[in-house]
Amino acid sequence: ADGISGVDLQGKSTFANRAMSEITGWSVDELIGSNQHRMLHHSHKDGSPYSPQECPVYRTFRDNIARYIDDDVFWKKDGSSFPVEYSSTPIRDDAGKVVGSVVVFRDISARKQAEEDARQYQMELAHVARLSTMGEMASGIAHELNQPLTAIATNSHACIRMLESGTVDSE
């Protein structure tokens, strides 16, 4: 299931569904009222700090533009990260004023693993193809070398037999 949460203009979570709690390890009670950026989105993939000014969720309610992020990371309660894709859409009150953002995210760990497995398989397949090509080339080279060497050896043996028989003029 997709994790869903709401974020107010101060960056605090206003609601969260059970899937969000199950995926992140944070209970709904821990999430609601807490700064979602500090809990879930504080660092980039490489571990460098992710400032709130850069955060697409915050930018959504600042400029009133919905966003879709196809490759990012969120952080779990235990400190581990996981890859996500998510959308951030402005939340409006009855008067149409933006009061926050709703975030819908999906853990894409399985998809990332499948992509890595496919990439690894393609690399192995390319390696096997190179080995097969090298085998074909080696076979072709061996054939091209064996033919003249066999002819030379046959002619040499014939000459030796003719010389040993004594019936041939040695000059």
User: What are the tens digits of pLDDT across the range 129-162?
Assistant: 998 899 889 888 888 888 888 889 999 998 888 8
Amino acid sitting at position 133: T
**pLDDT (tens digit, 9 = 90+) per residue, 50-95?**
888 888 888 888 899 999 999 999 999 998 999 999 999 999 999 9
The DSSP result for 19-65, as a single string, is: HHHHHHS--HHHHBTSBHHHHHSSB-TTS-B--TTT-HHHHHHHHT-
Q: What is the pLDDT of residue 170?
A: 65
Q: How far apart are the first and last CA of the chain?
A: 95
Amino acid sitting at position 89: T
Side-chain-side CA neighbours of residue 130 (13 Å): 6
